[in-house]
Each structure stands twice: as C-alpha cells, then as structure tokens.
Chain A
Amino acid sequence: MNEVKSLFYRESLLEKLHEIQNSYGYIPEIEIENLAEKYMLPRANVYGVISFYSMFYTEPTGKYIIRICDSISCHLNQSDSVLNAVKSFLNLESHQTTEDKKFTLEIVECLGHCGEGPVMMVNNKIYKKVNKNTALEILNNCL
C-alpha cells in the first residue's frame, strides 16, 4: 500500500515532460534518458509515451507554435481559408517548422472555443473568430 502512496506523490511523468518541453521547446534525448532512469523505464518506452501526445516534440520547434483548429465547428466557419493562408504565408505544412526556427505549424483538433471559431492559438494565447487577414496580422506581429 505504501507503494501506491509513493506512486501518488511521485511527480507525474506527464508533468515532467511538460516542464522539459516548455524549457527547451522540445524534449532532448538526454532528458529522455534521464527520465527513463528516474522512472525506471526503458528509454524506448518513454519515447513511446512522448510520441503519443501531440504537444510533445522530440525535435526542436519554432519559437511560436501556431495551432489552427480544423475540427468540425471551426471547419464550418471556414477554418480552411485561415489554414491555407497561414500555410502559404509560412510556407509550411502541418507539423513543420520554419528554417529560422521561428514558427511551427500545427493543424489541430478542437481547441474548445467552438462558438467563436475559427480559432487559432499562438503558444498559449487563444485568438478567436480569426479570418485569413487577422491570422496573417497575428503572425506579422510575431515577426
């Protein structure tokens, strides 16, 4: 039973991964190996966990991670036009990062602002009711 309690108090691997992701912009190999040791897991296993979640990266990401929702509610409100505008502005497809490591583009599923779509997220900040013009404006402000 003490084992269960100590597990409960153990810092969650997921939270630890968030911390690393936030400080490096990705999860470097050495950190995966450290976590594997700390949690007594094969490093392949930790890699498997990381790769399951779309907010974790094993390669460096851009300074700004641009997430554009294309789930049904945003899609009904022309998220595809926002998406296409951003794609061609950044010259990126989803899951790609610009060479200058400024932007990473992610087409994502529902961000939970479905009544105010299309929705776009720049790092932690939500932008609602964007259209292709406002979206590009937001990107320009990042430059």
Chain B
Amino acid sequence: MLRTEIDGIKIDLDEKMSILEAAKKAKINIPTLCYEDGLSIYGGCRLCVVEVEGEELLKPACATEIKAGMKIKTHSKKVRELRKNLFELIIATHNIDCQLNCLTCSRASNCELKEIAEDIGVSKMRLEPIKRGDSVDNSSYAVIREPEKCISCNRCIRKCEEIQSIGIFTTANRGPETVVTTFKNRGLGNVECTNCGQCILSCPTGALHELYQKDIVLDILNDESKHVVVQTAPAVRIAISEPFSNQAGDIATGQLITALKRLGFDAVFDTNFTADLTIMEEGTELIERIKSGHRLPLFTSCSPGWIKFIEHFYPEYLDNLSSAKSPQQMFGALAKSYYAREKGIDPENIVVVSVMPCTAKKFEAKREEMAGDVDYVLTTRELASMIKSAGIDFLNLEKSEYDELLGVSSGAADIFGTTGGVMEAALRTAAEIITGTELKKIEFEKLRGLEGIKKAEIEIDGLKLKAAVANGLGNARKIMEMIKAGEEFDFIEFMACPGGCMGGGGQPISCDDNILEKRQKALYKIDKNKKLRKSHENPYIKKLYDSYLENPGSEIAHKLLHTKYKARKI
C-alpha cells in the first residue's frame, strides 16, 4: 500500500498510478489539456504540473507516478501563478484576434480552453497573438481543419495512430514552426484519411470539425419547389438530446421527429427502415456465400470509415465486403425511386438529407459509385445546432412518429447504432430463414458489450457460424491481420468508430462520463421495448419487396441497393 498526501488530504493507494489519477481519487481536479483518457501520455501542455515537496521543479501530474510518502500540492500559489502564465502562452497561439472568433467557432458552446481558463482563474492576457498564417484545410468532404486554432496538443495524432491505427496526422518541423499536419501538408482529402472524425472528438479546440452543410440545408428547406425528406440514423436518437441536457443515454426519438418537422422537412423518415432492408439483402448474401463457400468471410459494409480503410489498407479483401450499400445510401436510392413513385413526385425535385452520427457519411454520399442517392448529410452535432438556432425548446417538445412507408422499423435496426448490432440483427433474420423456425432467444449476449473485438461461434440448425465483431479501426486492423495469418471466420461486423455508430465522429462531444455505456444501454432499451424486433418481419419491408423490389438480391434490388468499391493508394 502506498500512503501519500495530496493538498493535505491523506490517501492510501493499492496500486501504482499517476499523480493525476490519485488526485482524482481524492476528488481534486487538476486541469489538463494534452491528456486524454485512453491515449498515451504526451506530457506537453504542462498545465497539470504540481508541486512535490522537496523538489524545486514542478512535475506533470499526468506523467509522474505517485510514490509512497510524496507530499503534493496541486493548487499552491506557485502552481496557480504558473498555470496562469502558461495559459497566456497557450491561448496566444489560438488565433485570438477577437473578430468574434469565439462566437463563430465550432466549439462556441463547449470550448475546452474556456473551461480550463475558468478552472485556473485566468484574469489577464498580456501577450500578443501569434499568427501563423495557415489556411483552412477544406480538401476533405468530411473533416475540415483550421490549423490557426490548433495548439499542437497532439490528441488527434494519438487518436488516429493509437486507436484507429491510421496515423494521417504528424507533428512536423520543430521550434516555432512546429505544427500538426498531414503527409507533406497535403490536406485531409488527399491522404489516407478514413473520414471517421474521431480526431474531432479528441480536439480540445475548434481546429477540427465536420464539413458543415447545415446552412445549405436550411436554404433548401426554404425552397418551395423542393420536396425535402430526411432520414435519421439509429444512433442519432440516443445522442441528440446531449447538447441540450448535458447528460448521455436519453432516448429522444419522438422529440427528434417533432424538431425535424418544425424545421420544415416535408417527410421525416428513418434510416432504420433501410437498416432492416440491409439485413434482408446482406443476410441473403451471407446465406448464399455460406452455401457456396465463396468469398468468406463476409464483411459488413455499412460503416463508410471502414470501407475507406479497407480500400486503402486491405484492397485485396474488397471482394469479401458485402455488396449491399449502407442503409443511408439504400434510403436515398429508394426515396428517389420507390417513394417518388408511390407519392407521385418527380425524383428531380426530391432532396434527401440524412442525419448521421458520422462524418464519413458525408464522404460516402459524395462517392461516385452512388452519387445522387443522398444530397446532404448532417451530423448529430449539426442538427443540434440547427434546432438551437431555430429556437426550438427541444427537451420539452411533444413526441411525434416517423412518417410511414420509409419510417417503420424493427428493434434489430435500432441496434445498428452499437457495435455488435448489425451482427445480431443479421443473425436474428438469417437464423430464422435458414431454419424456418422461430428463434427462442433473439438476444446474442456474446456479441454485446464494448470490447474492441468480440468473437463467437453461433450454431444455427447444426450449421456453425464463426462470427466476429470489431469496433474502432485499430481493432479492425487486428482482425484483418488474424485473417491474413490464417484464422477463419464466416461473418465479421466492422465499425470504424469505437463503440460503433453511437461513438461516431459526428456525435455530440462528450459532456458526461461513460457516454458509450449509456448510449448503448439506451439503444438496447429501444430494441427491447419494440414489438417488432426482426427485420424480416417488418411489414413495410415486405410491402416494399411485394410491390417494388420483388425479392432480396433481385435485379432491381441489385441496381438500387448494391455497389462495388475500389482499391485506393496509401
């Protein structure tokens, strides 16, 4: 046991830990900036420095292991003065010319720098701002970078390298020219970026954000000649209230629909519907591949970050991808064909907007293979900002229902929003189609939870199915290496973001603890409370096949709902 004293509070510790972690146990908050849970320790910002009795130089709390007998002062005069001075140095590099940049910043409402300034009681600014003269990187369809706001905390670099195993960012140069950038300063659109947007979630400033389409969408909504339909991804409903309530895990499907109607969308539909449809198409594909033994394992194809990852890093496995488009793209294709026909609207006048927890979906919508299916993609964050700016009192809204035809879904579709969900949804359907009998237990517990890689052997009517689920691209890479090393699987679900879509790069930036657990719980709750829990039982899916698509894998289904991907250079 380790006995120490922090700010006069005596604490006993059972294990080795940093001063920062120990202080947390003593209910003391030490300001941090370059530190992020789950990433390696960087020790660059030095805001967390503390005084250790007997030592003149201050020690970074994040990087210093606490030792028995240490007496630590986390907020002494020396430390507080130093933090204030340090903060002046940091903020001077953050593009503060007071052209209202704080108000127009993507992080106006949840600026980490502002929070730190409050925590350390910054009261003066004596330094002149540093101008680096870097221009905005808008080379990407998904992620925009404003280098002038970057303070080089390296969180994006570490997130991309350590969690996602990509490494598109680097620190370049040294001295005052030290910057965070991409390979030869190419810009995010010109390197092997998967557009997952995880870097945005890690950025403490507004240096990284999505390519905004909210203003264009607001304009389109004012255009009387257009019929604007919107689809919402499963993971949006369980996160959209966070920017309003500052707590995670609330289900706000009904309020979400009402808000979208108030914003002026002509029809509010659910990506869940096409998630059910994906199960029909992908499930059929799975059964066919298992029967023929060809192109196994089958890889899911709903996560556009994962798609770009495999295109760049494992192009030799592109044939293993399901040819089914993602639910977002299926929806777009159907809205402009089936829905247009049913409603008698000229497809030319239909505008499809989607609300996604995802930044990579913005890129997906622009892919030439499926161009035109979806016109605009908003992130959950963008929609929250639109709701705020429309003066809608979101938390107190009455609830509404999705419009019919493309709005009814099973619980299997809801769980698409979490890691393991697509796999579970597919198994619910595949098992019943293969066996022709009803599943007794439709929850596949082995596939649930938040572990990075889950493996399970599922037995369906004597058929053993080797399944795996990976979330986060670092884990996706691990599975790909297992396959390369000869490990055999039949069906693998890949999600680019940790936690799956609910942890997507377009989701509200963390305002609560354990957001992934809370969001996941909410998704399973929605599923559990639904009567309809299997995709193939969705009556509107049946209707769609009966009246339009004939059957899964039909020629017309292939034309509208399937696609191909291509190898990309690194």
Flag if B184 contacts A29 (CB, 8 Å): yes
Flag if A44 contacts B183 (CB, 8 Å): yes
Are A47 and B172 CB-contacts (below 8 A) given A29-B184, A33-B570? Answer: yes
- B178-191: CB near A (< 8 Å → 1, else 0) gives 00011110000001
Partner of A43 from the list B172, B173, B174, B183 (CB cut-off 8 Å) is B183
Query: Nearest 3 A-B pairs (CB), nearest first?
Result: A42-B167, A48-B170, A44-B170
Which residue in chain B gives the minimum CB-CB distance to A51? B172
CB of A76, distance to nearest CB on chain B (Å):
23
Are A48 and B570 CB-contacts (below 8 A) given A41-B167, A42-B166, A43-B183? Answer: no
State the CA gap A33–B191 with chains docked (Å).
Answer: 12
Report chain B residues within 8 Å CB of A8.
none
- Beyond A44-B169, A47-B172, A48-B172, 8 additional contacts (C-beta under 8 Å) are A32-B183, A43-B183, A43-B570, A44-B168, A44-B182, A48-B171, A51-B172, A51-B173
State the CA gap A29–B166 with chains docked (Å).
Answer: 19
Q: Is A9 an interface residue (CB 8 A)?
A: no
CB of A54, distance to nearest CB on chain B (Å):
8
Q: Is A45 an interface residue (CB 8 A)?
A: yes
Flag if B173 contacts A52 (CB, 8 Å): yes
Q: Is B161 an interface residue (CB 8 A)?
A: yes
How many chain A residues sit at the interface, stated as a range, is 10 to 19
A/B pair count, beta carbons within 8 Å: 37
Flag if A58 contacts B184 (CB, 8 Å): yes
State the CA gap A58–B174 with chains docked (Å).
Answer: 15
Report chain A residues within 8 Å CB of B174.
51-52
Which residue in chain A gives the minimum CB-CB distance to B184? A47
Q: Would you list 22 pairs from A and B whose C-beta atoms are within 8 A, ordered by A residue?
A: A32-B183, A33-B570, A42-B161, A42-B166, A42-B170, A42-B183, A43-B183, A43-B570, A44-B167, A44-B168, A45-B167, A45-B170, A47-B183, A48-B170, A48-B171, A48-B172, A51-B172, A51-B174, A52-B172, A52-B173, A52-B174, A58-B184
B interface list, Cβ under 8 A from A: 161, 166-174, 181-184, 191, 570
State the CA gap A29–B169 with chains docked (Å).
Answer: 16
A interface list, Cβ under 8 A from B: 29, 32-33, 41-45, 47-48, 51-52, 58
CB of B186, distance to nearest CB on chain A (Å):
9
Could you say which of A41, A43, A44, A48 has the most chain B C-beta atoms within 10 Å of its C-beta? A44
Flag if A42 contacts B184 (CB, 8 Å): no
CB of A45, distance to nearest CB on chain B (Å):
5
Report chain A residues within 8 Å CB of B570.
33, 43
Flag if B173 contacts A42 (CB, 8 Å): no
State the CA gap A52–B179 with chains docked (Å).
Answer: 11
Could you say which of A32, A47, A58 has the most chain B C-beta atoms within 10 Å of its C-beta? A47
CB of B251, distance to nearest CB on chain A (Å):
39
State the CA gap A32–B184 with chains docked (Å).
Answer: 10
State the CA gap A41–B161 with chains docked (Å).
Answer: 10
State the CA gap A33–B312 with chains docked (Å).
Answer: 14
Report chain B residues within 8 Å CB of A48.
170-172
Which residue in chain B gives the minimum CB-CB distance to A33? B570
Report chain B residues within 8 Å CB of A29.
184
Report chain B residues within 8 Å CB of A44.
167-170, 181-183, 191
CB of B140, distance to nearest CB on chain A (Å):
15
CB of A108, distance to nearest CB on chain B (Å):
13
State the CA gap A29–B173 with chains docked (Å).
Answer: 17
CB of B87, distance to nearest CB on chain A (Å):
27
Report chain A residues within 8 Å CB of B167.
41-42, 44-45
Report chain B residues within 8 Å CB of A52.
172-174
State the CA gap A52–B170 with chains docked (Å).
Answer: 11
State the CA gap A33–B171 with chains docked (Å).
Answer: 17
Which residue in chain B gives the minimum CB-CB distance to A29? B184
State the CA gap A118–B538 with chains docked (Å).
Answer: 84
Report chain B residues within 8 Å CB of A58.
184
Which residue in chain A gives the minimum CB-CB distance to B161? A42
Report chain B residues within 8 Å CB of A47.
170, 172, 183-184
State the CA gap A41–B171 with chains docked (Å).
Answer: 14
Report chain B residues within 8 Å CB of A51.
172-174
Which residue in chain A gives the minimum CB-CB distance to B183? A44
Could you say which of B171, B182, B183 has the most chain A C-beta atoms within 10 Å of its C-beta? B183
Which residue in chain A gives the minimum CB-CB distance to B173? A51
State the CA gap A101–B316 with chains docked (Å).
Answer: 42
CB of B153, distance to nearest CB on chain A (Å):
15
CB of B460, distance to nearest CB on chain A (Å):
39
State the CA gap A26–B268 with chains docked (Å).
Answer: 57
CB of B85, distance to nearest CB on chain A (Å):
27
CB of A128, distance to nearest CB on chain B (Å):
27
Report chain A residues within 8 Å CB of B173.
51-52
State the CA gap A80–B293 with chains docked (Å).
Answer: 76
State the CA gap A51–B170 with chains docked (Å).
Answer: 10
Report chain A residues within 8 Å CB of B191.
44
Report chain B residues within 8 Å CB of A42.
161, 166-168, 170, 183
State the CA gap A45–B172 with chains docked (Å).
Answer: 9
Which residue in chain A gives the minimum CB-CB distance to B174? A52
CB of B370, distance to nearest CB on chain A (Å):
29
State the CA gap A33–B168 with chains docked (Å).
Answer: 13
Report chain B residues within 8 Å CB of A43.
183, 570
CB of B22, distance to nearest CB on chain A (Å):
32
State the CA gap A60–B102 with chains docked (Å).
Answer: 41
